[in-house]
Amino acid sequence: MTNSSTPHNQALTPIPQSDRVFGWHEHASLWFSLGVGLLVMQVGAYLVPAIGTKDAVTAILLGSIVGSGLLAWVARTGCNSGLSSAGLIHCTYGNAFARLPVLLNIIQLLGWTTFELVIMREGTTAITRQAFGIDLSGPLGIVLVTLFWGAILMALLAGSMITLVRKFISRFGLPLVVLSLIWLSWQFLGQLQAQGFEAMWNRPGNGSMGLFSAMDLVIAMPVSWLPLVADYARHGRSGRGAMGGTWLGYTIANIWCYALGVVVVSVAEPNTSLVSALLLAQGGLIALGLIMIDELDNAYGDLYSGSVSTHSLMPRWSIRRWGLTLAVVSMVLATLLPMHTLEPFLLMLSSVFVPLYGVILGRQGFVKSELRPDGRAIDWTAAALWILGIACYHGIGQWAPGFGSALPTLAITFTLAALTRK
């Protein structure tokens, strides 16, 4: 690997202040857009049968504020340090040991990109069947639709990430997504009012999930973005703007999409999928189409961050070249892999990043100036705390599932990392 002090490794070199262009508005627009997605609504739909509506709303509000706050703190750290996510990992764990979590991050980002491609493909298949009577669920249709969305992703990756955020997402993408969410919310809240809002509000859960476990489920979404946020926040002009914009944008999106998932499942017919329920709403076809387009930036966000991380390990290829390569790999995986068996693996793999960033925040969360990896091969204390955190995460989930795993693990790893900080 190229020495971290050489400027050719863009991931491990702080971005100069003169090259930073994102204000709080760009951060807020980006993370609102990344926070909107069909997957978030689907997870929100899981809450209502498990816990009562009142507890679901409490879990959504508290979990979104806390989870997005953690995301915003990492954004501030990335902005102040000028480093990518891979750079923060190198600074915390040492250059040699950092290869392991960076590699795991690349694997999970490839997995999530593949999953996003499948979500876009299934949504497209449902739309074409509903609107045009065309069935694209066969082998040829799967390949064609995957290639369609993959080609658009490659076109985006060939351009500038900064231009995409500043000119497309902030000016065009965000207003369209907001309008689609407003329309869908209006439609389903009207149905909810007709069926009886009070009965839904007082409906109890079946007891299969507690309040803290539900909060863990809500926190899972913003926490899943922890390994990516610094790759974008490092382009911010100030740490305060990166933190405030990220926190505001993602909190609003997370609350809105989780709550919309709860409302949709409350008024839909039993055993109706989320996509089918959205399509059946008046104007749902257009609104779902806009949300499908917004799914693109989720896949783009995964691929761009994955290319930055891969570049940090193998800097001879540029970030752009790695992004195009990873896009091709994701398209192949989306065509071949059974995604329903891959999702549990991805969720299990993401559990390693909760303690990983608990240690990073404990060590680097208070930095106010640029950082560079110091050349150490391994920080044994940080590495041991990360491994301890992984054990705590799974141990708490098994022995005390009512308390959730994410917050206790973050608290333990952060506290121990801060106490052992030099």
Q: Which of 210, 237, 205, 260 is nearest to 41 (CA)?
A: 260
How far apart are alpha carbons 64 and 274 in whole angstroms? 21
104 has pLDDT over 60: yes
- Interval 339-345 mean pLDDT: 58
Highest mean pLDDT among 187-196, 244-253, 266-275: 244-253
Q: Report whether 250 contacts 28 (CB < 8 A).
A: no
What are residue 236's DSSP bridge partners? 22
How far apart are alpha carbons 313 and 2 in whole angstroms? 8
**Selected residue with higher pLDDT from 322 and 373:** 322
CB count in 10 Å sphere of residue 59: 26
Task: Tell me the per-residue pLDDT of 23-74, one tens digit each, with 9 for 90 and over.
Answer: 999 999 999 999 998 878 888 888 887 888 899 999 999 999 999 999 999 9
Using a 10 angstrom Cβ sphere, with 0-12 exposed, 13-18 middle and 19 or more buried, the burial of residue 381 is middle
The reported pLDDT for the residue numbered 375 is 77
89 has pLDDT over 90: yes
Task: Tell me the per-residue pLDDT of 281-320, one tens digit each, with 9 for 90 and over.
Answer: 777 777 777 777 778 888 999 999 999 999 999 999 999 9
1 has pLDDT over 50: no
236: helix, strand or coil: strand
User: Average per-residue pLDDT in the chain?
Assistant: 87
How far apart are alpha carbons 27 and 236 in whole angstroms? 8
Q: Report whether 242 contacts 75 (CB < 8 A).
A: yes
Position 6 confidence tier, pLDDT thresholds 50, 70, 90: very low
CATH 3.30.43.10 fits 24-340, yes or no: no
Amino acid identity of residue 368, one-letter, is: K
Position 338 confidence tier, pLDDT thresholds 50, 70, 90: low
The reported pLDDT for the residue numbered 39 is 78
Q: Report whether 59 contacts 51 (CB < 8 A).
A: yes
How far apart are alpha carbons 248 and 251 in whole angstroms? 5
Written as one string, the DSSP assignment of 62-96 is: HHHHHHHHHHHHHHHHHHHH---HHHHHHHHH-TT
Using a 10 angstrom Cβ sphere, with 0-12 exposed, 13-18 middle and 19 or more buried, the burial of residue 307 is buried
Integer CA distances (angstroms), 406 to 70, 213, 320, 398, 410, in order: 11, 9, 33, 13, 6
What are residue 40's DSSP bridge partners? none
Position 342 confidence tier, pLDDT thresholds 50, 70, 90: low
End-to-end CA distance of the chain: 27
Q: What percentage of the chain exceeds 70 in pLDDT?
A: 95
Q: Report whether 77 contacts 365 (CB < 8 A).
A: yes
The reported pLDDT for the residue numbered 241 is 95
How far apart are alpha carbons 385 and 417 in whole angstroms? 7
22: helix, strand or coil: strand
- Interval 233-259 mean pLDDT: 95
112 has pLDDT over 50: yes
How far apart are alpha carbons 122 and 145 in whole angstroms? 9
The reported pLDDT for the residue numbered 344 is 62
Specify the range with the lowest mean pLDDT, choosing from 116-125, 195-204, 410-419.
Answer: 195-204
388 has pLDDT over 60: yes
The contacts of residue 191 (CB under 8 Å, 6+ apart) are 267
Q: Which of 392, 391, 382, 347 is nearest to 361 (CA)?
A: 382
The reported pLDDT for the residue numbered 214 is 85
Place of tokens 């658009």: 152
Going 195 to 197 to 199 to 201, the CA torsion angle's sign is positive
**Selected residue with higher pLDDT from 135 and 422:** 135
Tokens of 335: 């065509």
Task: Tell me the per-residue pLDDT of 151-168, one tens digit each, with 9 for 90 and over.
Answer: 999 999 998 888 888 777
Helix and strand numbers, DSSP H then E, in the chain: 19, 0
State the Cα angle at 305 between 302 and 309, rounded to 5°. Answer: 130
DSSP state of 8: T
Domain ranges for the chain: 24-340
Alpha-carbon radius of gyration of the chain: 21
> Which H helix or E strand runs over 307?
helix 284-313
